Structure 1
């Protein structure tokens, strides 16, 4: 059976998760994510536990357990004016940091330096920190794709999947690499994706069928109207199965402008699924919105039956 059928839907149904990444990175992102969760226009969000505003995000989420919130496993720190480092306090995670003690600023540097045992230790501590702050994580995913081996081929998927199995968390991993517009993973990773999907299955971790998103950067000449048109087009191309679309919403504030290179696009992403035309496209296409907690219940029921 397909994942959609295991969730109680038909084999031809198109199921959509909309996740807001980078929850906790700053207050402006937190208020935007909380607005979208409250309005019911996104499925979930994931918190960057090493960031300065993660505590606010976690406490709000703990007070509003009806919304799905997961952990955005974070091992890179990409903004020059604003940096963060490991949450691990007792243990050696020096391979994960620069000489200043912050995470490496890009994925390649992370892959080249990171030791798997230290990666696993830090990921566990990030999940544990969320739990200690009152969050009941619905799933896990990964900031900047640092764990997938996208730059050098050095990935950390066995470690991640072991952790997700232990904590009962489904994980953002596409079973199929979609090479058409909107695909996040490059086509050369198709064989690796199949192998890692098989590994996830063997460990009992529920993963996605497809992972999609539009450019996180503002394109030359891009307007909200063109961004909306691109999103509507993307939605019409969804295939049967479970797809996640990633956004990074924020309110536009001095705080965001102080460190972020793409504030305008973040504002567009705040509005995109609030837009009546986009919501109409979802309805007209017969796309069914689901939640990560649906996948989590499936994963945990499989584990209990085994």
Structure 2
């Protein structure tokens, strides 16, 4: 594709909750999202698969490879037996990187590469069996950067399963967004960023969801209203003013399959 400005908008974490499922599909069908990242180990994965049937043209799906379960009130287990990657209850660890000495996280554990590989293969193959639109890999909480050995494994799996893996290696750059402290309104922040976007290939990654009781119970922690932030992003994705700006500037919304 030879468009002057290309924009890949990626909706992460479908399958993680009912609220995320509904919002991700809305952002795909009514808004600017062109790719959605599905989490196979999560309890709302079956509904996500059902909702992703018959996607509009120009949208695609990635396996959001998962090694962590970060929310205190919702926990995810691996698809395989991988004790080096789990806590004493069998849940994925809450984080990749430590916040303090002895923190319960992947980098502080003697994790095993063969268990990571088996788990990643199980997640990929479960998604491939149910989602024909699947065409790339992405990585929850940046798990591919947890260790060079995991990064190498991810690249090898992308080649083996013929799943495009890294838009940044293909020349995409993150869109420059003003700090939230300067522009609190998400639609305004995106409008400002897209108004100033220069020719090139750009990517925007975020987490559509709904600000409802389910999502508030999952992710409103430490005084931060994350459910509200994710609702605002969903609203921005579907904003008529943002869609008009994209049309006016001839910004080409691209999927992984269409990225040049």
Query: After TM superposition, is the score higher than 0.5?
Result: yes
The TM-score, its normalising length taken from structure 1, stands at 0.72
Q: Does 1:292 align with 2:232?
A: no
Q: Which has the higher contact order (CA 8 A, sep 6+)?
A: 2
Which digits, 9 at most, give the CA deviation of each residue in 1:145-199, with x for residues without a partner?
12113xxx65522110111111211114523xxxxxxxxxxxxxxxxxxxxxxxx
Q: Does 1:9 align with 2:2?
A: yes
Q: Is the 8 A contact 2:10 2:35 kept in 1?
A: yes
**Against the structure 1 CA distance between its residues 38 and 286, is the aligned structure 2 distance closer, same or farther, given a 3 Å change threshold?**
closer
Kindly state the Cα deviation for residue 127 of structure 1 after the two structures are TM-superposed. 0.9
Aligned residues: 246
Q: Is the 8 A contact 1:50 1:85 kept in 2?
A: yes
Q: Paired residue for 2:223?
A: none
**Against the structure 1 CA distance between its residues 265 and 292, is the aligned structure 2 distance closer, same or farther, given a 3 Å change threshold?**
same
Which digits, 9 at most, give the CA deviation of each residue in 1:86-118, with x for residues without a partner?
112xxx422211111111101212233332222
| Alpha-carbon separation, structure 2, partners of 1:115 and 1:222 | 43
**Against the structure 1 CA distance between its residues 236 and 117, is the aligned structure 2 distance closer, same or farther, given a 3 Å change threshold?**
farther
**Against the structure 1 CA distance between its residues 117 and 235, is the aligned structure 2 distance closer, same or farther, given a 3 Å change threshold?**
farther
Q: Does 1:71 align with 2:81?
A: no
Q: Does 1:143 align with 2:132?
A: no
SS of equivalent to 2:28 = helix
Q: Paired residue for 1:248?
A: 207
SS of equivalent to 1:98 = coil
**Structure 1 or 2: more helix by fraction:** 1
**Against the structure 1 CA distance between its residues 86 and 38, is the aligned structure 2 distance closer, same or farther, given a 3 Å change threshold?**
same
CA RMSD of aligned residues (A): 2.5
| Alpha-carbon separation, structure 1, partners of 2:133 and 2:56 | 8
Q: Is the 8 A contact 1:111 1:154 kept in 2?
A: no
**Against the structure 1 CA distance between its residues 214 and 167, is the aligned structure 2 distance closer, same or farther, given a 3 Å change threshold?**
farther
Q: Is the 8 A contact 1:62 1:133 kept in 2?
A: no
**Against the structure 1 CA distance between its residues 271 and 167, is the aligned structure 2 distance closer, same or farther, given a 3 Å change threshold?**
same
Q: Is the 8 A contact 2:187 2:235 kept in 1?
A: no
Q: Paired residue for 1:193?
A: none
Kindly state the Cα deviation for residue 265 of structure 1 after the two structures are TM-superposed. 0.2
Q: Is the 8 A contact 1:59 1:133 kept in 2?
A: no
Q: Paired residue for 2:94?
A: 105
SS of equivalent to 2:71 = coil
Q: Paired residue for 2:121?
A: 124
**Against the structure 1 CA distance between its residues 240 and 123, is the aligned structure 2 distance closer, same or farther, given a 3 Å change threshold?**
farther
Could you list the runs of 4 or more consecutive aligned residues of structure 1 that deviate by over 4 angstroms after TM superposition? 212-215, 218-222
| Alpha-carbon separation, structure 2, partners of 1:63 and 1:281 | 27
- Give ranges in structure 1 of 5+ residues lacking alignment: 1-7, 176-206, 299-306
Q: Paired residue for 1:58?
A: 49
| Alpha-carbon separation, structure 1, partners of 2:194 and 2:33 | 14
The TM-score, its normalising length taken from structure 2, stands at 0.84
| Alpha-carbon separation, structure 1, partners of 2:245 and 2:145 | 32
Q: Paired residue for 1:191?
A: none
